[in-house]
Structure 1
Amino acid sequence: MGKRMRCAVMALALILALPGAAVAGPTDDYRQGITAANKGDMDTAIAAFTRIIDSGAGGDVKNLASAFNLRGMCQEAKSDLQKALADYSKAIELDAKMAEALGNRAMLYMKLGDEAKAKEDATAAKRIDRKVKVPEFK
């Protein structure tokens, strides 16, 4: 698994562990998904993040958006680019200030050859968090 994926998964694990602690199911699914993704088992990770999405993430919109973003990262790792794009877009729809999802979608748009959309997302992501990884443009 790429360094970007590992770093993002680990950072989100720390962020998501505290708000989800009151809800045993989603917390267990986050742990399972993150562990599986770190091992490169994207199918298991996707299944875990899908359970969180299907459960509504305990009613926490930010956790739900994070689950979509994480599932998108796993879909992208499997080269299911359209599914990844849909998941990143849903994460952004749920939490318009999720810089990581904007950065992930910008990177994906570059892979898909849509530089205009990539620039738009990269600009939006950097406005929220200057440290978020985005594509570099000439």
Structure 2
Amino acid sequence: MTSTARTADFSDHTGRTAGRSNRRFFAFACLSAAAVLTLSGCTTGDTTSDMMRVERAQGSDENIASLSGVIAANPGDPEGYNVRGSAYGRAGEFRRALADFNKAIELNPRFYQAYANRALVERNMGDQAAAQNDYNAALQLNPRYDVAFIGRGNLYRQAGQLDQAFNDFNKAIELDTTDPRAYHNRGLIYQARKQHAQAIEDFSTAISLSPSSPEPYNGRGISYVAMNDDDNAFADFNTAINLNGKIAESWANQALVYERRGDKAKAAKSYSHALSLDTKYEPARAGLARVKAGV
């Protein structure tokens, strides 16, 4: 089964010891329906999952200007650079984000949150080695930092190093993380290993932690399909569509259930809609070709 991820995260970790606002922007990998009706596990490598999601409020020009004012008033405070770097990251201004995280680390070489934030920028800029080094540095400074385990686990997962990734997600979960990415991404590995009961359990936990995110519904639905539970799969895919109707994978997944039920007209309609959202989405293209050939 081919899988393609569409969103990524940017974590704002300011290092405050009290009243810290650690906003999480979840990096769920959206699993697509199989290009064939028999599911055979998931491909873990992808090329699109590391695009930053723009958060308009945090990445706005107004917010960045405000943060720049704070830095001007307190140029020796590394937290200001870390927060502004996060804002630049959300706005997709990676080089400026990198410069701010570099400055934060220069001012405080033990600022483990800044290392993890810099790693995410490096990952989005394609420098996987530097990202891994920074995640390692964050964990050396704070061996209980769940965010760094999740971030490094994603690096391993996308490189196909599933055992290492699995260990990192497990560690984050053992640390009682409330970050749904740990469960979702571990679920992807269970799914790749065809351990669908365990995958469903992890996707369900991710849903309980972030019920408005469509991606774990897609993931859980795929495992339901693999277990021939089309009714629950269909419910999950429809929920994903209701939460965000602009994700091609959700429509292709819905189409797969229609196809399995023999409703080729509805399957063709959903596959076509998926292609209207993403003209390069191959599972939808292949599915549409199948149902048209079978009409």
> After TM superposition, is the score higher than 0.5?
yes
Deviation at 1:38, TM superposition (A): 0.9
Distance of 1:96 and 1:111 partners within structure 2: 22
Q: 2:183 maps to what in 1?
A: 29
Deviation at 1:24, TM superposition (A): 4.8
2:26 matched to 1:20? yes
Q: 2:192 aligns with which of 18, 38, 51?
A: 38
Instruction: After superposition, give the CA deviation of every residue in 1:8-44 in whole Å (9 maximum; x if it has no partner).
Output: 1xx33x8456532667531210221011111110011
1:96 is matched with which residue?
Answer: 245
- Give TM-score, length-normalised by structure 1: 0.81
AA aligned to 1:118 is A
Counterpart residue number, 1:77: 226
Structure 2: tracts of 5 or more residues without a match: 11-24, 28-146, 148-176
1:120 aligns with 2:269: yes
User: Aligned partners of 1:29 and 1:128: how far apart in 2?
Assistant: 28
Measured in 1, the distance between the counterparts of 2:9 and 2:178 equals: 11
8 Å contact from structure 2 (residues 200, 223) kept in 1: yes
Which deviations, in whole Å up to 9, do the C-alpha atoms of 1:66-115 show, x marking residues without a partner? 11011101100111111111111110111101101101111221110111
Cα contact 1:45–1:74 (8 A) shared by 2:
yes
- Taking only aligned residues, the RMSD between alpha carbons, in angstroms, comes to 2.0
Give the distance between the partners of 1:79 and 1:127, measured in 2 at CA. 28
State the match for 1:56 in structure 2. 210
Alignment partners' CA distance in 2, 1:17 and 1:49: 18
Q: Greater share of helix residues, 1 or 2?
A: 1
Partner SS for 1:20: coil
Change (3 A) 1:80 1:92: same
Q: 1:98 to 1:78 in 2, by over 3 A?
A: same
Contact kept? 2:221, 2:234, Cα under 8 Å: yes
Matched residues, number? 125
Q: Does the Cα contact within 8 Å between 1:17 and 1:27 map onto a contact in 2?
A: no
1:42–1:17 CA distance, 2 compared to 1 (3 A): farther
Which residue number in structure 2 is paired with residue 106 of structure 1? 255
CA distance in 2, matches of 1:124, 1:31: 27
Q: Whole-Å Cα distance in 2 between the matches of residues 68 and 31 of structure 1?
A: 13
Q: TM-score, normalised by structure 2?
A: 0.40
Amino acid at match of 1:54: S
1:45 partner SS: helix
Structure 1 runs (4+) deviating above 3 angstroms are 14-19, 21-24
CA contact (8 A) 1:45 1:71 kept: yes
Distance 1:30 1:16, change over 3 A: farther
User: Structure 1: any 5+ residue segments left out of the alignment?
Assistant: none
Which letter does structure 1 place at the counterpart of 2:191? A
